[in-house]
């Protein structure tokens, strides 16, 4: 099959198109013919080797973390799916590889594709939708009437998180560029901060939850808008000890993550709030919950641009250069 491989960690020069063997299908796996795959900043970080300390992939590695497609084979123990089913998924972190014609995925990581979406639209969702769910539903346990700040509310993650927070009954604020203020409002944001002309940290106050996808100074200032007991959840901030425990990391990695996040955790404690790092995981059952919201019209994908599969390298470069104006970038098979 055709695939795009990371041959060595580093920049785009380490990625190339190749012919590779078809995936092996385990007893609980399904083989999916991929129709479309989402492109994520996570792909860039994996390509660059940012996570090699705790995600020790064996190179060469097929890149890609989102998919939508059709099942063409099922393992002997598969009970939840059949050949011909249309599905979407974020594969387990140890079994990525959606920039390819085929992929074997454990049945527990899959969900039926939302009936109201095209393959390209469905492929844009799994990673960001699961991240939003695990942040807002699982970790923050957002309740009706709470105040939630979602940063970059028209980006891949933010555009879904804004809609999910509204579906949960929250009052939602977000940050966006001047050009995307109207889109952010259309997605459901009650208050939109134009980050080019306003400082959210001086405008907002008393928030229960912040979902941060930018890290750095943005995360530091986010702690100030939370009310006592609030929580800042970041996918871009420093990994914390809780994440090290989730990984089952060795002592050296645990100590490193404790040190990396010390300043952020100390600042959060000083403000009387909590800090939590999130590295999302595959979960087919959560995707099924999200599918209900999608098919009910509560969540819709935002797709910036679709590239043909042959231009996957260009799609990755497009994301890396920050050329996407809103939402996700997708590659599709012929």
Residue 216, domain member (yes or no): yes
Residues 79-106: what's their mean pLDDT? Answer: 97
CATH of the domain at 253: 3.40.50.720
Q: Is residue 224 a contact partner of residue 202, using CB atoms and an 8 Å limit? A: no
Whether 261 and 167 map to the same domain: the answer is yes
Place of tokens 């955790």: 265
Residue 246 — very low, low, confident or very high, per pLDDT cuts 50/70/90?
confident
In the predicted structure, residue 18 carries a pLDDT above the cut 90: yes
Q: Is residue 22 a contact partner of residue 109, using CB atoms and an 8 Å limit? A: no
Whether 16 and 83 map to the same domain: the answer is yes
The per-residue DSSP string of 122-135 comes to HHTSHHHHHHHHII
Whether 24 and 116 map to the same domain: the answer is yes
- pLDDT tens for 19-52 read 999 999 999 999 999 999 999 999 999 999 998 8
Whether 242 and 320 map to the same domain: the answer is no
- pLDDT tens for 193-229 read 999 999 999 999 999 999 999 999 999 999 999 999 9
Q: Give the domain extent around 90.
A: 2-125+302-332
Residue 287, domain member (yes or no): no
The rounded percent of the chain whose pLDDT value lies above 90 is 90
Place of tokens 């996808």: 213
Whether 54 and 154 map to the same domain: the answer is no
Whether 251 and 133 map to the same domain: the answer is yes
Whether 31 and 110 map to the same domain: the answer is yes
Strand order in the sheet with 226-234: 191-194, 171-176, 147-150, 207-212, 226-234, 274-277
Place of tokens 């011909």: 84
- pLDDT tens for 134-167 read 999 999 999 999 999 999 999 999 999 999 999 9
**Cα–Cα distance measured from residue 36 to residue 274, given in angstroms and rounded to the nearest whole number:** 38
Strand order in the sheet with 2-6: 15-19, 2-6, 61-62
pLDDT at 55: 82
CA-based torsion, 297, 98, 7, 3: positive or negative: negative
Whether 69 and 39 map to the same domain: the answer is yes
Residue 284, domain member (yes or no): no
Residue 191, domain member (yes or no): yes
Q: How many CA atoms lie within 13 A of 333 on its CB side?
A: 21
**Phi then psi for 279, rounded to 5 degrees?**
-120, 105
Mean of the per-residue pLDDT values of the chain: 96
34, 38, 43, 47 alpha-carbon torsion, rounded to 10°: 50
Place of tokens 């999200």: 290
- pLDDT tens for 277-314 read 999 999 999 999 999 999 999 999 999 999 999 999 99
Whether 88 and 213 map to the same domain: the answer is no
Whether 81 and 207 map to the same domain: the answer is no
pLDDT at 244: 86
Whether 186 and 143 map to the same domain: the answer is yes
Whether 250 and 317 map to the same domain: the answer is no
pLDDT at 248: 85
Residue 107, domain member (yes or no): yes
pLDDT at 256: 87
Count of the separate structural domains present in the chain? 2
Helix, strand counts (H, E) of the chain: 12, 16
């Amino acid at each position: 099959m055709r695939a795009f491989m990371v041959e060595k960690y580093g920049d785009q020069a380490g990625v190339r198109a190749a012919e590779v063997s078809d995936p092996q299908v385990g007893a609980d796996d399904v083989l999916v013919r991929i129709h479309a795959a989402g492109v994520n900043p996570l792909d860039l970080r994996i390509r660059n080797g940012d996570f090699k300390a705790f995600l020790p992939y064996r190179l060469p590695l097929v890149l890609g973390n989102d998919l939508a497609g059709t099942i063409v084979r099922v393992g002997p123990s598969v009970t939840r799916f059949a050949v011909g089913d249309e599905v979407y998924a974020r594969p387990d972190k140890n079994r990525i590889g959606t920039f390819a014609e085929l992929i074997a995925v454990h049945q527990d990581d899959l969900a039926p594709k939302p009936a109201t979406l095209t393959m390209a639209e469905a492929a844009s969702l799994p990673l960001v939708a699961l991240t939003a769910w695990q942040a807002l539903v699982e970790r923050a346990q957002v309740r009706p009437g709470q105040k939630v700040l979602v940063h970059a509310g028209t980006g891949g993650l933010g555009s879904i998180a804004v809609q999910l927070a509204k579906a949960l009954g929250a009052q939602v604020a977000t940050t966006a560029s001047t050009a995307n203020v109207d889109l952010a409002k259309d997605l459901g944001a009650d208050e939109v901060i134009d980050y080019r002309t306003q400082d959210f940290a001086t405008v907002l106050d008393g928030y229960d939850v912040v979902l941060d996808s930018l890290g750095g100074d943005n995360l530091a200032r986010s702690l100030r808008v939370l009310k006592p007991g609030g929580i800042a959840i970041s996918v871009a901030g420093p990994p914390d000890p809780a994440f090290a425990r989730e990984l089952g990391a060795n002592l050296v990695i645990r100590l490193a993550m404790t040190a990396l996040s010390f300043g952020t955790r100390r600042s959060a404690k000083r403000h009387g709030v909590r800090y939590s790092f999130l590295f999302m995981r595959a979960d087919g059952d959560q995707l099924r919950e999200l599918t209900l919201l999608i098919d009910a019209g509560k969540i819709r994908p935002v797709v910036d641009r679709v590239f043909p599969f042959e231009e996957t390298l260009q799609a990755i470069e497009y994301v890396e250069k920050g050329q996407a104006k809103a939402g996700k970038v997708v590659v599709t098979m012929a």
